[in-house]
A and B are shown apart, each in its own frame.
Chain A
Amino acid sequence: MKKAFLLFLILTGWFAGCRNPLENVELTFRKPLTTSVQLDFRTQGGRVAENVSVKIKGRDADQIVTLLNTTNFRISKDGSLPLATLVAPSPEKPLYFTIVATAENALETVVPIALIGSGVRRQTVVLTEKESNEAKKLVATTTGQSAGDGAVNGPLVIRTPPTEAGTSVISIPAGTRVVDAQNQPVDGPLTATVQVIPTSLVWQLPNGGSLSRTKKITVVASAFQAEIYNEEYRLVKSFSQPVGVTFGLNAGARNPATGLPVRAGDVLPLYSYDGATNQWKEEAPGKVVLDKENRPVIETRISHFSTWVVGYVTELCPNDGVRFSFQSQLPNDYDYSYRVEAFYVDGDKAESAGSSYYRLQNGFTFSLQHQLFKDRKVKLKVYDRNSSLVVESPVVGSCDNVTVPLDVRAFRPAAGEAPVKASVQFPCKNIQLDKLPDQVTTYYRESGSAHWEPFLTFNKSQLVNGVMSQTTYRVKKNRKYDFSVSVLSYDFEQPNTLIDQNEWVIKIKTKEFCQ
């Protein structure tokens, strides 16, 4: 009995002497790091690429983190992945790394990035489905091997699949040393891929083919993107000696200088794009010759790997260009966007110059600065989303410094569209703001559908008496929706929510954020 009592005393003393481990522990949301790279993962069709895994490789991979200072790289529902750097890049100390994106049914995609200064680098990473027509018709892969000094063991021939631009061939002779952007040998087993950029899809060129603010590639006779990388995903940038390249040319390509079909003897401009630095460069032009089958090709030598284009440049408007201003009766909180399309007009002919989506509240103005070709006539068409109504602007000079008014007062919300007030409600009026994330992004989809759409973004500066509110027309009463709240890339979902009133409230039950 005495022993048991002694035991009781000792154990009681032990536990009584200990504290609750979570006493005085205060959890808040972390302050995200500043975005240095904004990646956007898309499919060839422009949709959000799903179930993508991302690795960061390369020399400075250990300096690249998420905004939460982790290496758990997660892509949000809208396909974006912001990255931060642990050290500030500068021209003296640039950061080199490689994005490696994989998905179950997609080809592995390797994108080099070089950061040489402050500012946000935006990069779209396009994943090609393995079984898609693009993969079969446009992508070719081969393998090779290089020694410790980067010398390839045998000739490495990379051949594009045959397309309307024929076949392009890169021939790297045996013994050529392959090195990365830091001039370090790329050794070991090599994977070489080449992807044709169809000549008809100029917009698929990096940065849309914009060489500068005033020059843009608008006609392509041949284009491909070639990459060689080793098992550590170190990308070949250059060679110890120039290597031979044959550019197959689009049979229908015309020489703008002559206005005639391309023929032997023509000299065509060549451009390269460095994916790492996100820069286009004008290269020495190439002379057209006929190959053994009498097809026009350009045979030249290149000293570095990039996206290579045989094409022609058109000058863009150097100044602000034309602006469009809208008169509208749409409610200020009407959060649907309208399709707006610009056209080049030549007599009776109209050729699309591109389109975009805008919310068209009264007084909204936008400019097509550095997007329109010089010395052309343009007009704008605006399409009503709730009817077949199309509003068309007068024709104006593409570079005219004018504001063109457009009257879309006939555009109205559709029948049944009504404002729904969406609120995030805390259980108290006074909130500890430093405990909240600066911004919360939400997504929505009608219950049963597969794809999420961006919805509302709440900022903590909107908090009034413990409530953040916004109005939306995008959800309709008496329908069920799935909602997702994304906090620093992590998601909470509220599925199958019936909107049965003109107000939808997300109630935060915890008093953790109350003062």
Chain B
Amino acid sequence: MKNISGITGLWLAFVLLTVGPAANGRAVAGPGYDGPGRDGSGRDSLTVQPRFGLNASAGLPGFGLQLAYRLPTRPQLAVRAGFTYFARRRPFRLSVGDDSRLSVDPDLVISMAQASLKWHPFPKSSFFASLGGGYAWHPGLGAMLQAEDKLNLGGIEMTPDNVGVIRTSLVWSRLRGYAGLGFGRSVPRRRFGFGAELGVYYQGAPRVDLQYEGFLETTTLKEQVPTIEHNLRGYRWLPVLQFVFTYAIRPH
């Protein structure tokens, strides 16, 4: 029975959501991974497994939305594509001494499109491994600092004009590789599901972009940028810890 009416589908969904895993297991008779029926054919004698799922995630490195597709011929595999976004741009003040504050304008934005292949190796477990990549529209994290008023550094004062403006950012590669592990199905057997994923993006060593006007011009800071970049070369991995809320898109 490949096709099923909308009313039957709604009823089945109701049963799945209200009766719980035991009933779920019986009703769909599905294996532990996203896909096939008991015969491994990808078909089920009672219902048609949804192929698409919508995943909303939150955690490191932000909030995301993904569309997942369970492969019909290899149901232990699913492909996912979506984006992740996080932004923190609200200015704040940083105290640097007696009545002295720096104004900090952060530009902390992660805006990334990603695609990955998800593999459920164990039929009776929702454990998965994932490989993929991403493209960052905003590949850096930065901030702008300037003095709001005179800086008092132990009796010595600097005017905002002399302090100047410092703009700094760490810029990684736009293209990134991804590997992760987790639990949960991207296309849940029930209408809704939940999962967690732990992974890491490889984004290359960061490049330091440092622009300033002011007293720092008198120093050799620009010449020290390669040393700073060398020290930062370990920051080439971006950890991922996502909690994922999944929704199965069922055919009508």
Contact = CB atoms under 8 A, between A and B. Distances in A.
Interface in B231-250: 231-232, 234-235, 237, 239, 241
A28 B158 contact: no
A487 B158 contact: no
A494 B157 contact: yes
Interface in B184-226: 196, 198, 200, 213-215, 217-221, 224
Interface string A117-134: 000000000000000000
The interface centre, meaning the residue of A7, A10, A20 with most chain B CB atoms within 10 A of its CB, is A10
Nearest to B156: A492
The interface centre, meaning the residue of A6, A7, A21, A495 with most chain B CB atoms within 10 A of its CB, is A21
B215 A490 contact: yes
Contact of A27 (B157, B219, B231): B219
B237 A14 contact: yes
Interface residues of A, number: 35
Contacts of A70: 213, 217
Contacts of A493: 156-159
Given A7-B241, A14-B239, A72-B213, A492 B220 contact: no
Interface string A1-27: 001001100110010011111111111
B219 A18 contact: no
Contact of B235 (A18, A24, A487): A18
Contact of A491 (B158, B183, B219, B224): B158
A489 B214 CA distance: 10
A451 interface: no
Interface residues of B, number: 30
B162 interface: yes
B227 interface: yes
A488 B220 CA distance: 13
A230 B153 CA distance: 46
B154 A509 contact: yes
Nearest to A495: B157
Given A30-B220, A490-B215, A18 B232 contact: yes
Contacts, number: 83
A22 B218 contact: no
A43 B227 CA distance: 46
A245 interface: no
Contacts of B239: 10-11, 14
Contact of A492 (B162, B196, B221, B224): B162
Given A10-B200, A14-B239, A487 B218 contact: yes
Contact of B217 (A19, A21, A68, A437): A68
B215 A28 contact: no
Given A7-B241, A490-B214, A509-B154, A19 B231 contact: yes
B228 interface: yes
Interface string A197-240: 00000000000000000000000000000000000000000000
A17 B219 contact: no
A3 B198 contact: yes
Interface in A363-414: none
A28 B223 CA distance: 10
A35 to B, nearest CB: 16
A18 B234 contact: yes
Given A17-B234, A18-B232, A19-B232, A494 B217 contact: no
Given A3-B183, A21-B228, A490-B215, 9 more contacts: A7-B198, A11-B239, A22-B231, A29-B219, A72-B213, A487-B218, A489-B218, A491-B162, A509-B154
Interface of B: 153-159, 162, 183, 196, 198, 200, 213-215, 217-221, 224, 227-228, 231-232, 234-235, 237, 239, 241
8 contacts: A3-B183, A6-B198, A7-B241, A19-B232, A27-B219, A66-B217, A490-B215, A493-B156
Q: Which 3 pairs from chain A and chain B are nearest by CB? A: A18-B234, A488-B218, A19-B231
